[in-house]
Chain A
């Protein structure tokens, strides 16, 4: 059983399109995250949700909108895709709302914008 699963794994699309990436965790964790890994492999947090509530919203364009229908799911919708959005997007989860929990990552979704 995959603990944190993301779909799709690969996504190739044209500039200007709208796309979504889905994430699900079966660990019973309360907190979920979206991270972006750029071409230089640097990982940076984008959003974090705790029990469906947004708790971290980094300075990302408004074109990125996370949605958490329940605490096991955190989806990322991107409008009007741009070339610079090409990256690998990682979903992660951790237990509880506190700070001591270990993070578990999904396999990543590689987005390529042409």
Chain B
């Protein structure tokens, strides 16, 4: 059974810092990994999707890497801004259409 863990559970940083969020998964037989952002009381917004054959994906100040063999992914956020404050969720796609989520990292960027 796939298990996804995100570390840290919460993170508070000053504006402008570069930061890394971590995601690990127990079963390396994944099809893809997706990072989401969730604002309080809102739905999930897809940030980046990495297919199993890829090593990383970039979008603006975000860079996500994937090391399938070690069961790890990182989300790198450059030059963090208060607007980046949200919960970041990692999810892996295994068999069929099943997507397993981590519990998220709650990020606060202080001005």
Contacts of A94 in B (CB 8 A): 97
Within 8 A of A (CB), among B40-62: 42-46, 49, 51
By secondary structure, the A interface counts as strand
CB interface residues, A 57-111, toward B, < 8 Å: 90, 92, 94, 97, 99-100, 102-108
For B38, list chain A residues within 8 Å (CB).
Answer: 41
A45 adjacent to B46 (CB under 8 Å):
no
In the complex, which of the residues B31, B43, B87, B100 contacts A99, with contact meaning CB atoms closer than 8 Å?
A: B31
CB distance from B21 to the nearest CB of A (A): 15
A56 and B103 contact, Cβ closer than 8 Å, known pairs A90-B44, A102-B49: no
B81 cross-chain contacts in A, Cβ below 8 A = none
Please tell me if B28 contacts chain A, counting CB pairs below 8 Å: no
Interface size class of A (residues with CB under 8 A): 20 to 34
CA gap between A31 and B46 in the complex, in Å:
16
List A residues at the B interface (Cβ < 8 Å). Answer: 4, 31, 33, 40-45, 48, 50, 55-56, 90, 92, 94, 97, 99-100, 102-108
Residues of B participating in the A interface, judged by any CB pair closer than 8 Å? 31-32, 34, 36, 38, 42-46, 49, 51, 87, 89, 91, 93, 95-101, 103-104
